[in-house]
Structure 1
Amino acid sequence: MSAHKTPTTGTEASGQEVRAGSGLGPVRSGDQGKEIAGHENLAAATGLDVFVCDRSSLWQRGTNENTTGLLRQWWPGPTNFYTLELGEVCRVQTSINARSRAALEWQSPARALELAISRS
């Protein structure tokens, strides 16, 4: 897939998944637009559960919007994410996951995930 093309089908998008570091399995994120337009195809092609916010319920997008804001601290809006080096992405991912969040009672997402896994 070329760097300027957005995945629109399950077959194209399945190559864009990211493996969660916790061993929980593949994770796929998309926005309401071209990249998630074929979410049914994506689910069928990959076996992933795909969750899409309701168009009229912007409150469901809070985490998405917050994460976008965090990412913009490292990369400006027009950044082509297909061109980033994996090591750079992993470094930023680690930094974001180590930040405490009010929504997690001031734990980091990494710590909250660790605790959730240990309880199951």
Structure 2
Amino acid sequence: MVNYSNIYAEKARLTQARNKDKQAGRGFINNRVSIDERPSIVDTRSRVGDWEIDLVIGKGHSGALVTIVERKMRFTVSIRIDDKSAKTVTAATLALLKPFEDAVLTITADNSKEFAYHKELTKNLKCAVYFADPYCSWQRGLNENTNGLLRQYWPKSIDFKKVSNWAVKDVIVKLNERPRKKLDYNTPAKLMAEHMAAVAA
């Protein structure tokens, strides 16, 4: 005779174990703020200061790029990292955005645990951090498209630990100095320089 009470008890135990794993950091982000709460003005791309963030992963998860793109001007910043820990990604993000902190209002990320320290970004950059819905990469479409451009230089077979940050900087400069039709053939670099000069004036 089947002992259903034992089966139910085992299922409950496994469910509890999975929940503990999740809360220990396997995909769980504490105090996550949904993209549904993001101001609607971000969707219009009518102001400077709204950024999208992601990682470009190397072959065998060997190294990665942190890529961050400003939605209105398409201005991109990036740096190579050796691991994907939340601590490393947060430090890299602060290093990239601190020079532009007067032009950082919001950051939109995916639900990867690499962005679990989002409160550190809010504290240090005085910005709001929002998280896209799971499996909705189109909600960070500009960042996805930018990553596609970067893949022209570094295909999925690349080991990013063998790529220098000088090489990354060179590619990002080329990307930011490329005229864009949607920017009336201005470059992201020119628009960002003009914005930062206006802020400083």
Scaled by the length of structure 2, the TM-score of the pair is 0.45
Q: Which amino acid aligns with 1:66?
A: N
Cα separation, partners in 2 of 1:96 and 1:76, compared to 1, 3 Å:
same
Residue 93 of structure 1 is matched in structure 2 by 172
C-alpha distance 113-58 of structure 1, shift in aligned 2 (>3 A): same
Q: Which has the higher strand share?
A: 2
Q: Distance in 2 between matches of 1:53 and 1:106?
A: 31
Q: 1:19 aligns with which of 96, 99, 106?
A: 96
Structure 1 unaligned regions, length at least 5: none
RMSD over aligned Cα atoms = 3.3
After superposition, the C-alpha distances for 1:30-59 in whole angstroms (9 at most, x for unaligned) are 6432322x0434436x62336334217644
The 1:77–1:34 alpha-carbon spacing in structure 2 relative to 1, beyond 3 Å, is farther
Report what 1:55 is aligned to.
133
The match for 2:85 is 7
- For the residues of structure 2 that align with 1:35 and 1:82, how far apart are their CA atoms? 18
Superimposed CA distance per residue, residues 54-113 of structure 1 (whole angstroms, 9 cap, x where no aligned partner) = 217644312101110110110012434344212101110110000112332221100111
Unaligned runs of 5+ in 2: 1-61, 64-81
Q: TM-score, normalised by structure 1?
A: 0.68
Identity, % of aligned pairs?
27
Contact 2:110 2:133 in 1 (8 A): no
Q: Relative contact order: is structure 1 or structure 2 higher (C-alpha 8 Å, sep ≥ 6)? A: 2
1:68 maps onto 2:156 in alignment: no
Q: Which AA in structure 2 matches 1:13?
A: V
Task: Check whether the contact 2:176–2:188 (CA below 8 A) recurs between aligned residues.
Answer: yes
